[in-house]
Amino acid sequence: MAEELKLFRTWSSPFALRVVHALKIKGLEYETIFEDLSSKSASLLQYNPVNKKVPVLVHNGKAICESLVILEYIDETWKQCPLLPRDPYEKAKARFWAKFGDEKLFSSIGNVLISQGKEQEEAIAAAVQNLKLIEEQLQEKKFFGGETIGYLDIAFGWTANLISILEEIMDLKLVDEEKFPVLSAWMHNFSDDPVIKQCWPPRDKLVVKFQAMRESHLKTVLSQ
Amino acid sequence: MAEVKLFGNWGSPFSCRIEIALKLKGVEYEFIEEDVYNDNKSPLLLKYNPVHKKIPVLLHNGKPICESVVILEYIDETWEGPSILPKDPYERAMARFWTKFLEEKCFPPMKQASWSTGEEQEKAKEEATELLKILEGTLSGKKFFGGDSIGMVDIVANFIAHWFIILQEITGLELLTHEKFPKLGQWLDDYLSCSIIKETLPPKDKLTASFQARIQAATTSK
């Protein structure tokens, strides 16, 4: 039976991009449905009635939501190019750090974008502390997964793209090559991987988007 | 010989999740009580969970695993016995999705509804009610969230079955009742009558007293 794979995403969602990366690494063919989140399609609302978000992967009519849940589903359904380690302890570590990335690192980087002055200095300090923990996890490995890109690389993938964009917008350095030699190298290796490289959303469009996000947030704060 | 230790607290719904899972698998373990509510964490806990400094932490042959849902999956993958997660990838994805839903969407307003007052409480009650309706829907045709036997979602929903019900009784909140949510009500009865659950949940009177003390402390400090 022909596999039917559809991915509901937006052009910029870093979470949806995780699923794109995983599907491409596994060599899977799929249909992309781009969503405008200000005007969600009936299909998206049907497939993700609880959270009404992207990404949603629909496999033979069955919808799977939440990017990290989707990554595990993809890995368990298609066995080629394994994403998660086999060993339960290594798997647990990967899941732990992916959770850390989503619950702590993401918001700490976001806080840098939407703040200024003293508040931003504090946000930067918090973000740097979190990034140091990630640097430590890499140790001397090329990827979190070892020699090849795996689940945790994909989970952290957004950092390889978005951090440099935020640095450009705000004219500051979060991931300094001297202070983060291992993480910097990982960001280059991940970004330049032939499978990953072809998936990045247009950089100039992302710069405009995040610039607007920053300005809108700062304006809201000022008016309070 | 395999050595299993669990850093937890008698009153924590999170470390209770792990105890249930270990008992389901028939794994012997040493429980190390951490005085977390008085911020009196042991040096060992801080060593094994330097990132979050929280319980539960499972120590298996000297290797620490942190974050309760991560630990639940680790237990399921490491030991034979009744499955905590289903075998089918789609069903596993559903279990993980509903676990996330419980933790990230349901529990915060339920806690807020229990501990707050006035407008804040009303808002939280409304939000929690909508979410409980969604949860009620997922139980259609099933005895447990896990199907015929308890699974990860049931274990994580521990908080609802015991802690939240006790908080309701203390505060007079009537958010989750058998009348309003017949399927959840039935699930509560079935879940609480499982022998492993009964023997692992913290004693109701002890938990009630602990909650009442916290409420007292909060009111007197205002």
For the cut 80, the answer to whether the pLDDT of residue B221 exceeds it is no
CB A194 within 8 A of CB A27: no
Q: What percent of chain A has pLDDT over 70?
A: 99
Give the pLDDT of residue A78: 98
Q: Find chain A residues with C-beta within 8 A of B89's C-beta.
A: 73, 76-77
CB contact under 8 A, A66 and B92: no
pLDDT given for residue B119 in this prediction? 95
Q: How confident is the model at residue B120 (pLDDT cuts 50, 70, 90)?
A: very high
Decide if A96 and B63 are in contact by the 8 Å CB cutoff: no
Residue B2 has pLDDT above 70, yes or no: no
Rounded Cα gap, residues A188 and A110, in angstroms? 21
* Cα separation, B183 vs B135, whole angstroms: 9
Taking CA atoms, what residue in A is nearest to B131?
A: A50
Mark yes or no for CB contact A73/B92 under 8 Å.
Answer: yes
Q: What ipTM was predicted for this assembly?
A: 0.95
Smallest Cα–Cα separation from B70: which of B46, B43, B44, B49?
B49
Contact list in A for residue B2 (CB cut-off 8 A) is none
> Using CA atoms, how far apart are residues A144 and A142, in angstroms rounded to an integer?
7
Q: What is the pLDDT of residues B139-198, one digit of tens each?
A: 999 999 999 999 999 999 999 999 999 999 999 999 999 999 999 999 999 999 999 999
Say what the pLDDT of residue A220 is: 85
How close, in Å, is residue B220 to chain A by CA atoms?
A: 32
Q: What is the mean pLDDT of residues A101-110?
A: 96
Residue contact B67–A99, C-beta within 8 A: yes
Please answer whether residues A64 and A73 qualify as being in contact, where contact means their C-beta atoms are separated by less than 8 angstroms. yes
Torsion angle of alpha carbons A34, A38, A39, A40, nearest 10°? 60
Determine the residue among A69, A77, A79, A87 to mutate to test chain B binding: the one whose Cβ has the most chain B Cβ atoms within 10 Å: A69
What pLDDT sits at residue A17? 97
| Residues in contact with A121: Cβ distance below 8 Å, sequence separation at least 6, in sequence order | none
What's the average model confidence in pLDDT over A143-150?
Answer: 94
Tell me the C-alpha distance between B71 and B64, whole Å: 9
pLDDT at A2: 64
Beta strands in chain B (DSSP E): 4-8, 30-33, 57-60, 63-66
Q: What is the mean pLDDT of residues A93-101?
A: 98
Question: What is the model's pLDDT at position B38?
Answer: 81
Q: What is the pLDDT of residues A34-91, one digit of tens each?
A: 999 999 999 999 999 999 999 999 999 999 999 999 999 999 999 999 999 999 999 9
B222 pLDDT band, cuts 50/70/90, is low
Residue B90 to residue A62, Cβ atoms within 8 A: yes
Coil vs helix vs strand at B116: coil
Nearest to B70 among A64, A76, A92 (CB): A92
Three-class SS state of A172: coil
What is the pTM (predicted TM-score) of this model?
0.96
Binary contact (B96, A72; C-beta < 8 A)? yes
pLDDT at position B220 over 80: no
Q: A213 versus A222: which is more confidently predicted?
A: A213
pLDDT greater than 70 at residue A157:
yes
Please give the pLDDT value at position B217. 84
- For B33, the 3-state DSSP assignment is strand
- C-beta atoms of A99 and B70 within 8 A: yes
Chain A with chain B: Cβ pairs closer than 8 A? 54
pLDDT tens figures, A164-202: 999 999 999 999 999 999 999 999 999 999 999 999 999
Give the tokens for residue B105.
């969407």
The mean of the pLDDT values for chain A is 95
CA–CA separation, B209 and B13 (whole Å): 16
